[in-house]
Amino acid sequence: MIRKYEPGDELTIGRIYYDAVHQLTRDDYTKEQRNAWATPIEGGDAWAEKWRRRCDLKQPWVAVVDGDVAGFIEFESDGHIDCTYVSPAHAGKGHMSAIMERIFEEARRSNLIRLYAEVSITARPFFERHGFRVVRDNPHKVRGVPILNYIMECWLH
């Protein structure tokens, strides 16, 4: 099932973000890069509040499998796709493609002509399968650590 974020999802979403970065990107990014990208989970109320605020603001779309959030995509009204992460236990099972199809439906309903995102090396094939193309390489620094990703876009017809 694909649905919008609901209060109570935030801790699972935060955990998915951390686990995806640290487990699914190992072939493409160093441990130093992964630690800069997704800092260790602090736990406690501060960490929960950070993710609650982010989810309240971004209102991500989530895939729910057996009652649990399996992955999420943040889709903004201007066509920007921000976070796109799946639980390692659910990677490669089509859940993220189901969310992406919902994103395309919402984009067309909003009369958007273009979607765009900053995409990791790891996520690039997923985005390419959904019609996105690289606009340019996007080398940048996160917490002083160089990390490469790509600016990608998809034109809607």
pLDDT digits (tens, 9 = 90+) for 40-62: 776 678 888 999 999 999 999 99
Q: What is the spatial distance between Cα 79 and Cα 112, in angstroms, rounded to a whole number?
A: 7
Q: Six-digit token pair at 141? A: 């620094």
**Burial class of residue 21, CB neighbours in 10 A (0-12, 13-18, 19+):** buried
Q: What is the spatial distance between Cα 102 and Cα 133, in angstroms, rounded to a whole number?
A: 19
SS3 24: helix
**Which range among 33-42, 55-64, 108-117 shows the weakest confidence by mean pLDDT?**
33-42
CA distances from 98 to 28, 55, 62, 73, 135 (A): 25, 20, 9, 11, 24
Q: Which residues are bridge partners to 141 per DSSP?
A: 146
SS3 27: coil
The CATH number of the domain where 37 resides is what?
Answer: 3.40.630.30
Total domains, the chain = 1
Range of the domain at 141: 2-155
pLDDT at res. 157: 76
Which of 151 and 39 is assigned the larger pLDDT?
A: 151
Q: Is residue 39 very low, low, confident or very high in pLDDT (cuts 50, 70, 90)?
A: confident
